[in-house]
Amino acid sequence: MTRIHTVLFDLDGTLLDTAQDLAHALNQLRQQYHLPPLPLATIRPHVGYGAKAMLKVGMDVTEEHPQYTTLLDEFLNFYRVCLTQTTKLFDGIDNVLTQLENKNIPWGIVTNKPSRFTFDLLKALKLDHRAACIICGDSLSRRKPDPDQILHACELLKQSPENCLYIGDTQTDALASRAAGTKTLIVLYGYLQEHEDPFAWGADGYAKVPADIIAWLDQK
């Protein structure tokens, strides 16, 4: 049985509940263009797939739209203002991190979120010095679903991928983890969309609540 020596986490929808602040930024953008606000329940399932997905649901634009870059910049500017207003660790996650630390299992973060937001968030939540490594969406030339970020994190922590567990909440996370050769655990408390079937993503385990992460590790 493969032993897990390192745990890597996705950020939005896995470690942090960022949906409310991101939804507020998106609705600020909609207000600027004289559009009514969208309910959090409409926006929340798209948070895990990044700004592109949020602009699609909030402004009905894709990267091919002539205003896409302008809208993206405006959205991110709104987000910077409200970045830490309501964002918090999911209930139970701090206990998971503490248990990992008590077991001498280093943990890190691999996210597609840009570094300028990631580091400000982690600093505000006093996680920046606890994480053994932090790999962001602009740390390398390619990002998830490509495996490069996860492999780079394994290299930094001097661990082989087969001894690493990657934890996320989207199919993008599952694809990246499988391509990197790490064990994969999908959390079900994140930002799943109604049509998605996470049990079809080929993960090694699932967590309905954060405590399930430790329970899964204890079985290994």
Catalytic pick from 10, 21, 148, 169?
Answer: 10
Write the pLDDT tens digit of every residue in 192-206: 988 999 999 999 999
Determine the Cα angle at 73 with ends 78 and 76, to 5°. 35
CB 182 within 8 A of CB 149: no
Beta-strand pair 134-135/183-187: unpaired
Q: Residue 220: what pLDDT?
A: 78
- 12 included as an active-site residue: yes
Low-confidence spans in the chain with pLDDT less than 70: 1-2
Domain ranges of the chain: 6-16+87-218, 19-82
- 73 included as an active-site residue: no
Q: Residue 1: what pLDDT?
A: 57
Catalytic pick from 12, 148, 169, 212?
Answer: 12
Q: Residue 132: what pLDDT?
A: 98
Just give the CATH number of 6-16+87-218: 3.40.50.1000
CB 196 within 8 A of CB 171: yes
